Amino acid sequence: MKYKGNILEVNNLTLSLLDKNGVPVTILNDLTFHLRSGEILGLIGDSGSGKTMTALAISGLLNDFAHIDSGEILFEEEDLVKKAPRERRRLLGEKIGVIFQDPSSALDPLQTVESNLQEVLSIRNCSKEESRERILRMLATVGFEDPEDIAKRYPHRLSGGQRQRVLIAGAALMNPTLLIADEPTSSLDTVTSMSIMHLLHEMSHEMGISILFISHNLSAVRNFCDRVMVMKEGTIIDSDTSWDIMGQPKSAFTADLLMKSRLDPKTLGISRGKTNPDGPVVLEATRLTSSYRYKDVRRNKTNAVIKNINFKIHEGELVGLIGSSGCGKTTLVKTILGLLKPSSGEVSHEGRIAAVFQDPVSSLNPAHTVRWHLREALKASGRVISKEEQTAYFISILEDVGLTGKHLYRFPHQMSGGQRQKAAIAMCLVQEPSFIIADEPFSALDASSQASIIKLLSDINKERGTTMLIVSHNLQVIRAMCSNVLVMDKGSIVEAGFTDDVLENPSAEATKALIEAGEYGG
Amino acid sequence: MSSTVRATLTKVCEFLLTTLLVSFFTFAAFSIIPGDPARIMLGTEASEEQVEQLRVELGLNEPLAERYVKWLDNAFRGDFGTSLSFNTSVGDLISSRLPVTLGMSLIALIIVLLVSFPMAAICSKRPGKPLDKALSCAGHILFAIPPFALSMMLILFSANVLGIFTAGRYTAPSVNFGSYLSSLLLPSFCIALPKIAMTFKFLRASMIEYSQGDFVRTAKSHGLTDLRIMMKHIIPNSMVSSVTVISLVLSDIMGGSLIVEQVFNLPGLGRLLLTSIARRDFPLLSGIVFYLALITVILYFLADLISALIDPRIRDRRNV
């Protein structure tokens, strides 16, 4: 029997977080909203606006540094703030399900998928056979074709999208009345994220689950949520049905957020890179195949992740590489960079290659300043610049990427995600590469930072003439900035050519699917 | 051939190769060090003929490689030669002393694990709180006390105040297993205490790290109690990183037994080692050193196997 009326009411919730010096900082300020039974409510805002804290406060997973100062959280008319921690934990297993942003480490690496999911049912006194059967059925429900195989796997043998599906299966297994989804798709590619949203939508309708859907991407929730709230600095500043909010945003902030999340080339001030089909070839891959060998209990097989890849990139081109997750994009990048040895075929390139990776947090050394990173990059490139001139040179590079001289002595943790990514790009520039590979350089960033990194890479291509290969699942970005496009599917390049030719007249099924998903979510 | 079998076989080959290298270096070390063993053994008073005779007896005149092969061949059959000072077979001597050292080390390891895991689990639950601080502080103090000082304090305390332990009494396991264990308990405790501090410190850090991890958050969202999360997720995961540390601790324990055996007057390998050094008993010395090295190699081999057993990622990586 599902609950009728407002399943969740948050009234005047104020929450503060202790900073490094133990001084409380207000994160949620007099937050008030409600969620009707069976409704999907979107909560949108930039990073740092308090979205995740809202999710954690409702689910009762706040850490020791957070403190609820005042207000109430009514779940089925009972105030959660007043409940004892034990009771709240029990509620989590029974009525409130949570899925989080980053599925990469959200499953215990030492346990199989089945064992990870089994714990949901273990507190419900399910027999072994029954719980096994329910797990397999749920895995099929969330879209796995071979649930038996998935159940036996360990998390490191699943892709990001597959892990998120497993986590959704976990949340759905407990048959909750409320599901809190905190950016469940932002680390996934467009096609996967569309299917995850479809799945959540279906579950909400079939099982009557109310969903609080948190995202930083306004247009992504357009077709998905019944209502949308926009959050800024810990309060709701705008709230309406999703259609109205997209059509006529009431506040300037919402309008701005909407524009940024659309990544419109005009407002970003970028134009497409130039094609150069007759220019010298900078990078060429011939019959490139790379494979991972891994153990399988039943079949001992080698898995070719990329197969027979052929392409040429000419000087000055800005090439986009698109494809759904697990299609082998990252493996291709690793093979080009020489981090993986190809099992057959070869890559040849002219000049120096530099790389920018998806996650600027883990690609910088937390123990060192930006200056150290730049010097390392300089050393690696073999260029020699005298000590006296180094500082001035580094500052000029930092200014080129939109940072300032004061960032030279910052540690990675003292900068935002966007600034860190800029520092990583500065490390590339210091090496004066003829070719830059950027593997999903925007996807870990919020909308505003994304826009600035896109602009920066596009400018570097134009002003310095650096050839680039940009891997992204964001079709809008690729369309806006790239001269050429490579489309990958299941380890092969299925389509390649000028951006317009490929995206306006797609011939491969994979390209069509990507374009469709891009229009839905983006 | 399945890849699991192949991976295990590779591991076993690595193990055998390491053992062989260890044996060679042990042997070579005692041959290369300056001084003629025969002369040292017989003293300055002995005549050249006597020394020469002993050299022939010990086979010292043959080339190093030949002597090594012969030694290895014998060692393979469990024959490490005859001790010069005890005049009995080295193998017999070692096997009569091994139960003391091994037993003590195992008991010490069990104590270390039994104490440090719960201690780390309690502290990691509320890091920085008074209980954590108190236990961490106690750990530091234990770590700082030298084992011999601790041993003597414990002997005095338990023998004089409690009257439950008589220092220097040892019963062989074949005679009475119960009193064998009880005679080793206190010395094991002395070895264990500083190691508890070390293991605890490491475990606490890794448990704190894991308890803030994403999969623990998932488990919480599944409604699991803290105790179940600790048992099902945090402890197994911190086991992976601690297996190596624990194997290091265990080889440290074996080394640490040397001093404690001396203080407690126990007939273990450590004391035998000291005796053999004092008496320049080279066959015995190289036999013991080889044994200790072998045990260390076995420990690391086991640590590798255990971590692969716990962690599927290690199993997969190994087959790449």
Per-residue pLDDT reduced to its tens digit, A160-173: 778 888 998 998 88
Size of interface A-B (CB pairs under 8 A): 94
- The count of other CB atoms within 10 Å of the CB of residue B73 is 10
| Full strand arrangement of the beta sheet holding A484-489 | A353-356, A435-439, A467-471, A318-322, A484-489, A492-498
State mean pLDDT over B91-100: 87
Residues of B in contact with A154 (CB under 8 A): 312-313, 316
Q: What letter does residue B203 receive in the DSSP assignment?
A: H
Q: How far apart are CA A411 and CA B253, in angstroms?
A: 41
Nearest CB partner across the interface for A92, out of B213, B221, B316: B221
Q: Is the pLDDT of residue A504 over 70?
A: yes
List the single best residue of B221, B316, B320 to mutate versus A (max A Cβ within 10 A).
B221
Q: How confident is the model over A7-30, as pLDDT tens digits? A: 999 999 999 888 777 788 888 989
A167 contact B CB<8A: yes
Q: Is the pLDDT of residue B320 over 50?
A: no
Q: What is the pLDDT of residue B213?
A: 85
Q: What is the pLDDT of residue A266?
A: 72
Give A35's contacts (C-beta < 8 A, 6+ positions apart).
A6, A7, A8, A9, A41, A178, A210, A212
State mean pLDDT over A334-350: 88
Q: What is the pLDDT of residue A179?
A: 93
State mean pLDDT over B86-115: 89
For A46-93, the DSSP string reads -TTSSHHHHHHHHHT---TTEEEEEEEEEETTEESTTS-HHHHHHHHH
3-state secondary structure of B89: strand
Please indicate whether, in this complex, the C-beta atoms of B215 and A109 are within 8 angstroms of each other.
yes
pLDDT band at B164 (very low <50, low <70, confident <90, very high): low
pLDDT band at A298 (very low <50, low <70, confident <90, very high): very low
Q: What angle do CA B206, B208, B211 make, to 5 degrees?
A: 105
State mean pLDDT over A188-204: 80
pLDDT band at A213 (very low <50, low <70, confident <90, very high): very high
pLDDT band at A297 (very low <50, low <70, confident <90, very high): very low
| Tokens coding B59 | 């086979």
Q: Could you give the C-alpha distances from A268 to A265, A398, A410, B308, in angstroms and in order?
A: 5, 21, 28, 50
For chain B, what is the largest distance between any 2 Cα atoms, rounded to a whole number of angstroms? 84
Q: What is the pLDDT of residue A475?
A: 82
Residues of B in contact with A86 (CB under 8 A): 225
Residues 352-411 of chain A with CB under 8 A from chain B are none
Q: What is the pLDDT of residue A180?
A: 93
Residue A141 contacts residue A172 (beta carbons within 8 Å): yes
Half-sphere exposure of A495 (CA within 13 A, CB side): 23
With 0-12 CB in 10 A as exposed, 13-18 as middle and 19+ as buried, what is B63? exposed
3-state secondary structure of B307: helix
A62 contact B CB<8A: no
Q: What is the pLDDT of residue B290?
A: 85
State mean pLDDT over B85-112: 88
Whether complex ipTM tops 0.90:
no
- Percent pLDDT > 90 in chain A is 24
Q: What is the pLDDT of residue A381?
A: 86
When mean pLDDT is compared across A32-36, A63-67, A224-228, the lowest value belongs to A63-67
Q: What is the pLDDT of residue A303?
A: 64
Nearest CB partner across the interface for A93, out of B222, B237, B316: B222
Residue of B nearest to A176 (CA): B222
Residues of B in contact with A59 (CB under 8 A): 221
Element (H, E) at A7: strand A6-18
Nearest CB partner across the interface for B315, out of A93, A102, A295: A295
Q: Tell me how close the Cα of B239 comes to any Cα of chain A, in angstroms.
A: 11
- Percent pLDDT > 70 in chain A is 93
Residues of B in contact with A100 (CB under 8 A): 214, 217-218
For B207-238, the DSSP string reads HHHHHTSHHHHHHHHTT--HHHHIIIIIHHHH
Q: How confident is the model over B181-223, as pLDDT tens digits? A: 888 888 888 888 888 888 998 999 999 999 888 899 999 998 8
Q: Is the pLDDT of residue B55 over 60?
A: yes
For A148-210, the DSSP string reads HHHHHS-GGGS-HHHHHHHHHHHHHHT--SEEEEESTTTTS-HHHHHHHHHHHHHHHHHH--E
Q: How confident is the model over A364-396, as pLDDT tens digits? A: 888 899 999 999 999 988 888 888 899 999 999
Pairing relation of β-strands A227-232 and A40-44?
parallel
When mean pLDDT is compared across A135-139, A431-435, B71-75, the lowest value belongs to B71-75
**This prediction's pTM:** 0.73
**What are the φ/ψ torsions at residue A417 (nearest 5 degrees)?**
-55, -45
Q: Is the pLDDT of residue A458 over 50?
A: yes
Q: What letter does residue B82 receive in the DSSP assignment?
A: B
- The count of other CB atoms within 10 Å of the CB of residue A5 is 10
pLDDT band at A1 (very low <50, low <70, confident <90, very high): very low
Q: How far apart are CA A457 and CA A355, in angstroms?
A: 12
pLDDT band at A522 (very low <50, low <70, confident <90, very high): very low
When mean pLDDT is compared across A88-102, A188-202, B137-151, B247-261, the lowest value belongs to A188-202
pLDDT band at B3 (very low <50, low <70, confident <90, very high): low
Angle, helices B269-278 vs B90-125, to 10°: value is: 130
Q: What is the pLDDT of residue A219?
A: 63
| Tokens coding B72 | 């290895």
- Summary mean pLDDT of chain B: 83
State mean pLDDT over A483-497: 90
Closest alpha carbon to B173 in B266, B299, B290: B266
Q: What is the pLDDT of residue A296?
A: 47
pLDDT band at B86 (very low <50, low <70, confident <90, very high): confident
Residue of A nearest to B317 (CA): A294
Closest alpha carbon to B289 in B243, B246, B254: B254
Q: How far apart are CA A115 and CA A122, in angstroms?
A: 10
Q: What is the pLDDT of residue A246?
A: 74
Residues of B in contact with A90 (CB under 8 A): 223
Pairing relation of β-strands A344-349 and A235-241?
unpaired
Residues of B in contact with A120 (CB under 8 A): 222-223
Q: What is the pLDDT of residue A211?
A: 93
- Percent pLDDT > 70 in chain B is 94
Q: What is the pLDDT of residue B204?
A: 92
Q: Tell me how close the Cα of A211 comes to any Cα of chain B, in angstroms.
A: 15
Q: Is the pLDDT of residue B30 over 90?
A: no
**What are the φ/ψ torsions at residue A63 (nearest 5 degrees)?**
-85, -175
Please indicate whether, in this complex, the C-beta atoms of B313 and A102 are within 8 angstroms of each other.
no
A334: Cα separation from own chain's centroid:
19
List the single best residue of A110, A183, A299 to mutate versus B (max B Cβ within 10 A).
A110
Look at B219 and B38; give whichever has higher pLDDT. Answer: B219
Closest alpha carbon to A117 in A147, A90, A75: A147
Q: How far apart are CA A193 and CA B289, in angstroms?
A: 61
Q: What is the pLDDT of residue A96?
A: 92
Q: What is the pLDDT of residue A294?
A: 52
Closest alpha carbon to A315 in A433, A437, A466, A439: A466
Please indicate whether, in this complex, the C-beta atoms of B222 and A91 are within 8 angstroms of each other.
no
> Which residues on neighbouring strands pair with residue A227, listed in sequence order?
A41, A241
* CA dihedral (A262, A266, A269, A270) positive or negative: positive
Q: Could you give the C-alpha distances from A183 to A45, A231, B68, B190, B247, in angstroms and in order?
A: 11, 14, 67, 53, 42
pLDDT band at A108 (very low <50, low <70, confident <90, very high): very high
Nearest CB partner across the interface for B223, out of A89, A102, A157: A89
Residues of B in contact with A167 (CB under 8 A): 218
Residue A97 contacts residue A172 (beta carbons within 8 Å): yes
